[in-house]
Structure 1
Amino acid sequence: MKTISDRITEISHQLSSELAGAISELVSLGEGLVHQVRGQRLADLAFNMIEIIDRNLYERSCDVRWWATDAAAVDALANPSAESAAHAAQRLGVILNAYTVYLDLWIADADGRVIANGRPQKYPKVIGSNVAHTSWFKAAMATSSGDDYAAFDIESTPLLDNAQVATYTTAIRAGGAADGKPLGALGIFFDWQPQAAAVVAGSQLSAEERSFTRCLLLDAQHRVIAASDGKGLLSETVALAAREKSGYFADNGRMIGYALTPGYETYRGLGWYGVIVQQVPSAG
């Protein structure tokens, strides 16, 4: 009987050990699956954010090329006078009334002097300022045709009360023709902060998740250009350990999902990222 009892005890211990191992393996597998599902969801949400931005900025690239062919803008540079500049400014104002996502639109002559803007009452220092040294003016004058444009990372613009803007530009050409000689440049200044804030605040997160989640847009240098908590704008950088177009990774207890700009139509994007950083509070 003792032999049988010892054997039963041995089998019991063996089964307990095997069961414990199986349970541990199942728990580990379950945690890994949860980790994978959570990470992929964050990456998907990050992609959704940057895709919305791309679609929005694609429209900006279309706007600048279209408005550069406006007859009043062309005439203000082809036949410079106080009257033609005033007419161009009036036309820019009409456009701004319809497209409220812009802070201002500027027309600069070939020497870089701004001769007209759409909101002279709000931004009175713009007229007469010289933008020949700016990257956007140089890029506009260097475009090879009216089909081309240039887009720039987010920056604060002193002449627009230091507002954060996304600048789009192209040359205004003789006759408004795509192959016309560049007469000057059109710069359009997208009111970045409220538009971007709406995108990062609109991620499909539960009310509980929002308390431990940060939604971000980063430029190609990983500088924060939009944040759901409003912090670090144009000053903070966020390292991304992975270099693929999209994915997720863990970092110091956080789960970070990210997606590189996919571009949209003729807008190739500027290497920006959508990023979601989530850190679930520890129990207790």
Structure 2
Amino acid sequence: MMHQSRTPAPASEQNLQSNAKADASPERVFNLAANVGESVRERTAAIRAITSRTRILALNALIESARAGDAGRGFSVVANEVKDVSSEIARVVSDLERELMSRVEELETIGRLLVSQVRGQRFADLALNAVELIDRNLYERTCDVRWWATDSAIVEAAAGPSEATTRHASQRLGVILDAYTVYLDLWVADTDGNVISNGRPDRFSTRGLNVARESWFQQAMQTASGDDYVAADIAPSATLGGALVATYAAAIREGGERDGKIIGVLGIHFDWEPQAKAIVGGVRLSDEEWSRTRVMLLDSRHRIIASADGKGVLSQSVQLDLAAGDRGFYEGREGEIVAYSLTPGYETYRGLGWYGCLVYTPPKAG
């Protein structure tokens, strides 16, 4: 069986195909439109300059032919014809420029919209990915706190606080912390809110600490069963050196039973900043995009709780326009692309109404 040979494409066509494969992005389309527009302007300007010089030459020829009298009459006809041709070329160039530029401007507008649409949708997907990653992480925290609240050493310390039981609980909490390095400390509190044991007594002193006014403690005391947990807002903890923590809590119940009487509360303090920074800093952007983009996590009030640039955490908010629904993007007041996604939750973790958010500031025109 004979095989037909394929004629290679011309070099120019091969280069075009190669370039298209190398970069078929919307940005490339927009840049090509801008380059074409600039080329049209440059070439028509050059033609205008040439026709202007031609008209000047024709005018000089007319002057010289007039001086020559009858001998220059024939040359004046040619000069007039050159002048008319120059004027006609100028009109054609003007018409061509007007027609081409209107189409180039339309192409530039379409390219700009295409860039915005594609980037906006991709950024919304990246925002979803970021908030999903933190939700998966925090889902594990909800499992941890409910599991550890049934640990026998912790249950015994809450049931009968003594030097021996609280020391044993502290040792047990320390073992847990050695394996789970994402936590700053773990606290056991009695029903009055007094912290009776913690996992890192050599690092964080909880002597005399009472957490009865903390929302996580109060809510944990109101839970219906051992299946329930409480998640607090991101907040700094003075006891933990001012570090930002995500505190999760569960009731400690008599006998470690699911429906046992509440005898205390276990509070676990997730080391928020390094974990959140790893997530917002790991979003896949190009170097150019990173130089122009803020990547953030927002709480349910749209307050910044993590930012790749480290700015505005707990002190700034982003006023999101949620017209597109739980996930979308829009153009901000200064021309930014604002993309966001509401947490979808993970497994049994419903999430706290947080958002992933990216704000891209495009380069200024010209």
TM-score (norm 2): 0.72
Of the three residues 218, 224, 246, the one matched with 1:166 is 246
Give the alignment's Cα RMSD to 1 decimal: 2.2
Quote the residue 1:230 is aligned against: 310
2:350 matched to which residue of 1? 268
* In 2: Cα distance, 1:186 partner to 1:17 partner: 74
* Residue number among 186, 192, 195 corresponding to 1:105 in the alignment: 186
Q: Kindly report which structure 2 residues correspond to 1:141-152, keeping only aligned pairs within 5 A, or say none.
A: 141-152=221-232
The corresponding residue for 2:335 is 253
Q: Is 1:128 equivalent to 2:208 in the alignment? A: yes
Deviates more, 1:86-95 or 1:71-80: 71-80
1:23: Cα distance to partner? 4.1
| 1:202 partnered with 2:282 | yes
| 1:18 positional shift | 5.9
Q: Secondary structure at the match of 2:196?
A: strand
Secondary structure at 2:239 match in 1? helix
More relative contact order, 1 or 2 (CA 8 Å, 6+ apart): 1
Aligned counterparts of 2:266 and 2:331: Cα–Cα separation in 1: 44
Q: For this pair of structures, how many residues does the alignment match? A: 279
| Farther-moved stretch of structure 1 (19-28 vs 168-177) | 19-28
Q: Which runs of 5+ in 1 are unaligned?
A: 1-8
Deviation at 1:210, TM superposition (A): 1.2
CA contact (8 A) 1:117 1:127 kept: no
Mapped partners of 2:97, 2:364: distance in 1:
30
Secondary structure of the structure 1 residue equivalent to 2:349: coil
> Post-superposition shift, 1:221?
1.0
Task: Tell me, in whole angstroms, the C-alpha distance in 2 between the residues paired with 1:184 and 1:274.
Answer: 35
Q: Per-residue CA shift, 1:143-188, capped at 9, x if unaligned? A: 1000000101100011111110000001000111111111010000
CA distance in 1, matches of 2:290, 2:93: 48
Q: Does 1:137 align with 2:214?
A: no
Partner amino acid, structure 2, of 1:272 = W
Q: Distance in 1 between matches of 2:329 and 2:298?
A: 15
Q: Structure 2: any 5+ residue segments left out of the alignment?
A: 1-89
Q: Which residue of 2 aligns with 1:93?
A: 174
Distance 2:356 2:262 in 1: 36
1:143 partner amino acid? T
Once residues 64 and 83 of structure 1 are traced to their aligned partners in structure 2, the CA distance between those partners, rounded to angstroms, is: 23
Alpha-carbon distance between aligned partners in 1 of 2:233 and 2:294, rounded to the nearest angstrom: 21
TM-superposed deviation, 1:127: 3.0
Higher normalized helix content (fraction of residues): 2
Which among 151, 156, 162 is matched to residue 81 of structure 1? 162
Structure 2 Cα separation of the partners of residues 35 and 76 of structure 1:
59
Write the distance in 1 (CA, Å) between the matches of 2:153 and 2:216: 21
Look up the match of 1:6: none
Instruction: Determine if the alignment matches structure 1 residue 43 to structure 2 residue 124.
Output: yes
Determine which structure has more spread, i.e. the larger CA radius of gyration. Answer: 2
Deviations 1:215-259 (A, max 9, x none): 011111111111111111111111112242111111112111111
Q: CA deviation at 1:12?
A: 9.9
Q: Which residue of 1 aligns with 2:198?
A: 117
SS in 2 for 1:171: strand
- In 1, the alpha carbon distance for the partners of 2:169 and 2:99 equals 82
SS at match of 1:211: helix
Percent identity over the alignment?
58
- Does structure 2 retain, via aligned residues, the 8 Å contact 1:261–1:271? yes
